[in-house]
Amino acid sequence: MMKSYEELREVIDKKNRGLRDKVMSLEDAIGLIQDGDHVASGGCHYSKTAMAAVWEMIRQKKRDITYSRSIASTEGDLLLVAGVVKRVVSSWFSPGVTWGVSRVMRHYTQNKIAEFEEWSHMSLGLRYRAGAMGIPFIPARAMMGSDLFPRLSDIKEMECPFTGEKLALIPALNPDVAIIHAQRCDAYGNVQLDGLPFMDKDIALAANKVIVTTERIVSNDQIRRAPDRTAIGFFCVDAVVEVPYGCLPHECYGQYEPAFKHMDYYVKLMMGRGPDGVKEYLDEYVYAPANWNEYIEKIGFKNILDATIEGRGIYND
Amino acid sequence: MTKLDYNTAELVAIMSARFLEDGKIVFGGAGMPLISCILAQKLHAPTLTILFEGGVIGPDIQIGKLPPSTNEQRAARRANMLLSITDILLLQQRGYVDYGFLGGAQIDQYGNLNSSFIGDPDNPKVRLPGTGGANDIASLASKILVAMHHEKKRFVEKVDFITTPGYLQGGTSRKDAGLLAGGIYKVITHLGIFGFEKESKRMCLETLHPGATIEEVEERTGFEMIIPDKIEYTKAPTEKELTILRELDPDKRYTTPKAE
């Protein structure tokens, strides 16, 4: 269901867009998410997942969330099993090619406990982009002729008024909340991203609220020294939270690769025992730790060190 | 010369690499497609450029550290350019991408691929991970290569679900649906190379791999494969091709045949 243009403008109009300090705790930031919201995560697959935000959403027992992401990985399993998410909107959903098809995704969708709404990768990207541009759709030359098209309620086809060609109309997506993880960000919400940009910029502009978790909070002076590197502007950001290793066990470009041993451990548990295995994982890794740092400790120093050495290695020639 | 020993996955990787011409741009998937792309670069196509769906143009992949996904930093190493996922997929719509390289759980006689549902989509036996960029690639890249193990359960009369469009219902149906560019170019299996008949767009045998037989192709295909009157054979893998392939994947992580 698409919000009217007037409604979308009103949300932006009400936002305090001043250059002001938005640093807060993870708990307070995730407190901005309401039950029933559409939450979109930046990154893709097991890269730059806003894992700390997902982890805190589970701890705060959010309900009836629609979760969208270019490709969903293990965080999608966690959100389903914790009862946070009822609908996943994505192009692909499983831990990773080498780890097989998620048993949790299969269990929840095949038993109709949750929905997985499938869009092609480009069309999901165009949905966020149309949302970011403040227009209701973008025409595209994909999706047509496939069986994906008729399963989706809000995609349409039209004859181009200029050329007469058939085009798919990809509808805008304006998430209620975007959760984005960054390498660095200042207190005002000027986000600088390294490496693969994924769909982060479009998601942030499309969303009504933007929560940024960041490896480091840097000074505004540092941002101003390289303003061309700022991918998401302070004006659309609502919360800034410093969360070192905020994507673990997934990766953050230039900082750390995935904690592969932990991923293997998780996937074995998930593929072996399905939702019950994931419940056990949630108890141990999400509910039991007092805070994010305790969770990181549980992943283990050796795992994190290995991931960090490999992650920083991208800058070696 | 002694007969070279190779497995069926190695055979498919080598045969696929031969179709990638120098000076072109290929959308490479993780795993075997990536190996084929790098193999082509080392053999006959030094200026072939690899794109990855994660947003990577022209990376320099470290041998022994092949990325298990195309959306992660290992895939981005020493790239010429990094783009957002939306923008890299849009390069295909503009016409910059020559080859797409796909697999799938099922393929049918018109080259349609399924990676969404096994069984009735409303009550599926198996919910698969989904399209990712495959639908976009097959809709927009100029020539699609499909590499698959040749099995009856995969080569079906009609796919359970068209995730990724081939020639749809054959004839002009692909263009009629609005897909003006591209189409499935070759299907490469461990038994042979397959193309599509010009008018009907039905799958047809082009060349058999050495040692493969028509009977085996027919036995492992769930639809009527068009077989030419005069059978031609594919040139066997060379020692050079095999040697380089094995340097790229020394543990055979991506070139071990899957159990049927």
Helix boundaries (H) for A90-206? 103-110, 121-133, 148-151, 200-206
| pLDDT average, residue stretch A155-177 | 98
Higher pLDDT, B143 or B252: B143
User: Which of A138-142, B67-71, B250-254 has the largest mean confidence?
Assistant: A138-142
pLDDT in tens, A84-97: 999 999 999 999 88
Q: How far is B76 from chain A (nearest CA, A)?
A: 8
* Residue B169 forms contact with A (CB below 8 Å): no
CA distance A163 to chain B (A): 12
pLDDT digits (tens, 9 = 90+) for B156-213: 999 999 999 999 999 999 999 999 999 999 999 999 999 999 999 999 999 999 999 9
Asked if B63 is an interface residue toward chain A (Cβ–Cβ < 8 A), one would say no
**Is the pLDDT reported for residue A1 higher than 80?**
no
Q: With an 8 Å Cβ cutoff, is B210 touching chain A? A: no
The residues near A256 (Cβ < 8 Å, ≥ 6 apart) are A245, A247, A248, A304, A307, A308, A310, A311, A312
**Cross-chain Cβ contact A121/B136 below 8 Å:** yes
Confidence at residue B1, expressed as pLDDT on a 0 to 100 scale: 45
The Cα B49–Cα B39 span in angstroms is: 12
The interface residues of chain B toward chain A in range 106-135, judged by CB-CB distance below 8 A, are: 116, 121, 124, 126-135
The whole-angstrom distance between A274's CA and the closest CA on chain B is: 15
Q: From the list A93, A119, A147, which residue is nearest B162 (CB)?
A: A147
Chain B residues inside the 8 Å CB shell of A140 = 93
CB atoms inside a 10 Å sphere around CB A135: 11
pLDDT tens digits, one per residue of B204-251: 999 999 999 999 999 999 999 999 999 999 999 999 999 999 999 988
ipTM higher than threshold 0.90: yes
Write the CA distances from B104 to A165, B18, B69, integer angstroms: 29, 21, 16
pLDDT tens, position by position, B52-110:
999 999 998 888 778 878 888 999 999 999 999 999 999 999 999 999 999 878 999 99
pLDDT value for A3: 86
B168 to chain A, any CB pair closer than 8 A? The answer is yes
CB contact under 8 A, A195 and B76: yes
Beta strand A230-232 pairing with B25-27 = unpaired
Q: Which of B86, B130, B177 sits opposite A92 (nearest CB)?
A: B130
- Does B31 touch chain A if contact means CB atoms closer than 8 Å? yes
- CB neighbour class for A221 (10 Å; exposed up to 12, middle 13-18, buried from 19): exposed
pLDDT over threshold 60, residue B137:
yes
Kindly list the residues from chain A whose CB atom is less than 8 angstroms away from the CB atom of residue B131. 91-92, 118-121, 148
Rg, C-alpha atoms of chain B: 18
Nearest CA to A82 out of A112, A97, A104 is that of: A104
3-state class of A41 per DSSP?
strand
* Per-residue model confidence as pLDDT tens digits over A21-39: 999 999 999 999 999 999 9
Longest dimension (CA), chain A: 60
Give the domain ranges of chain A. 18-134+174-315, 137-171
Residue A95's closest chain B neighbor by CA?
B129
B81 touches chain A (CB under 8 A): no
Full set of structural domains in chain B with CATH: 8-48+92-246 (3.40.1080.10)
Burial category of A11 from C-beta neighbours within 10 Å (exposed 0-12, middle 13-18, buried 19 and up): middle
Tell me which fold the domain A18-134+174-315 belongs to: Glutaconate Coenzyme A-transferase (3.40.1080)
Closest by CA position to B33, among listed B250, B259, B249: B249
Q: For A126, which residue in chain B has the nearest alpha carbon?
A: B86
A213, pLDDT greater than 70: yes
Say which residue, A307 or B257, is predicted with more confidence.
A307
Interface of B with A in 89-108 (CB under 8 A): 89-90, 93
CA A181 to chain centre: 8
Q: Give contacts of B179 with chain A, Cβ < 8 Å.
A: 141, 144-145
Question: What amino acid is encoded at A255 in this protein?
Answer: Q
The question of whether B197 is a catalytic residue gets the answer: no
Interchain contact, A147 vs B30, CB within 8 Å: no
Q: What is the mean pLDDT of residues A204-224?
A: 98
What residue in A sits closest to B82 (Cα-Cα)?
Answer: A196
Say yes or no for a CB contact (<8 Å) between A157 and B178: yes
